[in-house]
Amino acid sequence: MKGVAILGSTGSIGASTLDVVRRHPGRFGIVALAADRNDVRLLEQCIEFRPAIAALASIEAAGRLAAAIRDRGLPTRVLAGEAGLAEVAVHPAASQVMAAIVGAAGLGPTLAAAAAGKRVLLANKESLVCAGHLLLEVVAASGAELVPIDSEHNAIFQCLPQPVAAGRCPPGVRRILLTASGGPFRNWSAERLACATPEQAVAHPNWSMGRKISVDSATLMNKGLELIEACLLFGVDPARVEVLVHPQSIVHSMVEYADGSVLAQLGNPDMRTPIAHALGWPERIDSGVESLDLVTIGQLGFEAPDLERFPSLRLAREAAEAGGTAPAVLNAANEVTVAAFLDRRLNFTDMARVIDSVLQRHDVSRVTSLEGVLAADAWGREAAGRALGSLEARSA
């Protein structure tokens, strides 16, 4: 029986992970769960999976959860705040930790799980974007395993010769072909994009996901973050990663080799496939995902991304090339602008403008410590907040 801990259990990836675990009662046991503030959902999960510990970042919500757990006589110990999340990340009975907190908030717990030598199932791409080299160093030093959950990176992982050493490119690999659905606005004109609403942005045509990553998919910033993620995970320069828009989301990404061979991983767009792959690896286990019906799908299309309408992808590529603190600043500014867009304080197309202005003002420096990453993250958030403020003042 393998113990599993989930950071971000109440979210979209968290729910899909529990769905896969539920199919294998003798194989996996949930030992620890953590989330932000949804005590109602976490209580339901505690009732079903009876973890040893459950943590909420919100102290208030953790208090409500603790009372409800006591009332029901459940065995789960409830923890709160950052220390609680860290305990979930390093629980001794968990050999696998699903890192599925959204945003840079996942960085601390993800690093803690890696330092404790766990198999880290990495969905939280923002932690890798912010602190990539540090995270890889921690993985190498502790002997942890990093198995990517992002469908594209999981696909690339599957197309590379095994075992895959995190951060190192195997010989013979020429390029990585990273596929993108193009998001809900793939065919929208620039004028129409300026008026896109949060409701339209989160209605992804192929994938059902959390709100933040859905907005990132609509701007193509998600693909930009994934470009940075791919460079770090597989040890390649940005120039060796090509982004291809593939509207059907069936080919999840590809690896091109020196001899011209291109290996692809295909499947229905359902995150339970990469989750089951990572949980079971190197074995293959049932995920609940239906067989791929290529006859019904009929055609697979590919096109180049439009960097004029979707400048976020260009900004991310520039940040990947600049390296150092640039990706952390890009990510921080993106988190601030996505939140503002979801709050209707910022237009869809102004998100990239704000991020661009923040990056232009940033003096890139090398990343040598976690403190350096956190300082870059804080600087990016503050600079984006100021840029937002001046935009609001101008439109008032």
Beta carbons within 10 angstroms of residue 215's beta carbon: 26
Cα–Cα distances (Å) from 368 to 25, 209, 380, in that order, read: 43, 33, 18
CA distance 231 to 272: 24
Interface with ligand NAD (CB under 6 A), residue from 4, 18, 29, 38: 38
Q: Does 150 bind Mg ion (CB under 5 A)?
A: yes
Whole-angstrom Cα distance, residue 26 to residue 293?
30
Of 45-53, 72-80, 147-155, 344-352, which segment contacts Mg ion by CB under 5 A? 147-155
Window of 18-26, 61-69, 118-126, 155-163 that interacts with ligand NAD by CB under 6 A: 118-126
Sole binder of ligand NAD in the list 62, 86, 101, 220 (CB under 6 A) = 101
The answer to whether 229 contacts ligand NAD (rule: CB under 6 A) is no
- Report the half-sphere exposure of 132 (CA within 13 A, side-chain side): 27
In the chain, the DSSP E strands lie at: 2-7, 28-35, 53-56, 77-80, 96-99, 119-122, 145-148, 173-180, 241-245, 251-257, 262-266
Task: State the residue for tokens 């503050």.
Answer: 382
Residue 13 within binding range of ligand NAD, rule CB under 6 A: yes
Please identify, using beta-carbon distances, which residue of 170 and 210 lies nearer to ligand NAD. 210
CB nearer to ligand NAD: give 10 or 325: 10
Closest residue to Mg ion, Cβ-based?
Answer: 150
- Residue 326: alpha-carbon gap to chain centroid: 18
User: By CB under 6 A, which span of 34-42, 87-95, 162-170, 383-391 interacts with ligand NAD?
Assistant: 34-42
209 sits near ligand NAD (criterion: CB under 6 A): yes
| Piece of the chain touching ligand NAD by CB under 6 A; list 30-38, 245-253, 281-289, 330-338 | 30-38
Give the separation between CA 27 and CA 285, rounded to whole angstroms.
10
State yes or no: residue 36 binds ligand NAD (CB under 6 A).
yes
For the bound state, the minimum distance from the C-beta of residue 12 to Mg ion, rounded and expressed in Å, comes to 12
Residue 271 binding ligand NAD, by CB under 6 A: yes
Q: Among residues 46, 57, 319, 383, which is the contact residue for ligand NAD, using CB under 6 A? A: 57
**What Rg, from alpha-carbon coordinates, does the chain have?**
20
Distance CA 128, CA 225 (A): 9
Tell me how far, at minimum, the Cβ of 44 lies from ligand NAD, in Å: 13
Any idea how long the chain is? 396
Please say which residue, 100 or 387, places its beta carbon nearer to ligand NAD: 100
- The DSSP string of 135-179 is HHHHHHHHT-EEEE-SHHHHHHHHHSPSSPPTT-PPTTEEEEEEE
* Residues within the interface to ligand NAD (CB under 6 A): 8-14, 35-36, 38, 57, 85, 100-102, 105, 123-126, 150, 207, 209-210, 212-213, 271
* Residues within the interface to Mg ion (CB under 5 A): 150-152
